[in-house]
């Protein structure tokens, strides 16, 4: 995988520890987001959640 911004290939996964929740279920536990960040320029290559089934 290469960064679409700087073409670098060094990435790290990071999280902000804020869970993503469904709009219509504000009390849901939700799931932590995992960002894949370029170490060279800071571009966020992808945002994924750990447990998509928790949004159901």
**Identity of the residue, 5 or 51, whose beta carbon is nearer to Zn ion in the bound complex:** 5
Q: Is the Cβ–Cβ distance between 38 and 3 less than 8 Å? A: yes
d(CA 54, CA 36): 21
Binding site for Zn ion (CB under 5 A): 3, 5-6, 8, 38, 40-41, 43
Closer Cβ to Zn ion, 31 or 36, answer by number: 36
CA angle 28, 13, 24 (to 5 degrees): 20
Pick between residue 6 and residue 29 the one whose CB is nearest to Zn ion: 6
State in angstroms the smallest separation of the CB of 20 from Zn ion.
24
């Amino acid at each position: 995988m290469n960064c679409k911004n700087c073409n670098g290939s060094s990435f790290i996964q990071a999280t902000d520890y804020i869970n993503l929740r469904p709009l219509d279920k504000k009390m849901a536990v939700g799931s932590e987001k995992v960002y894949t960040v370029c170490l060279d320029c800071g571009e966020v290559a992808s945002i994924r959640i750990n447990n998509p089934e928790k949004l159901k």
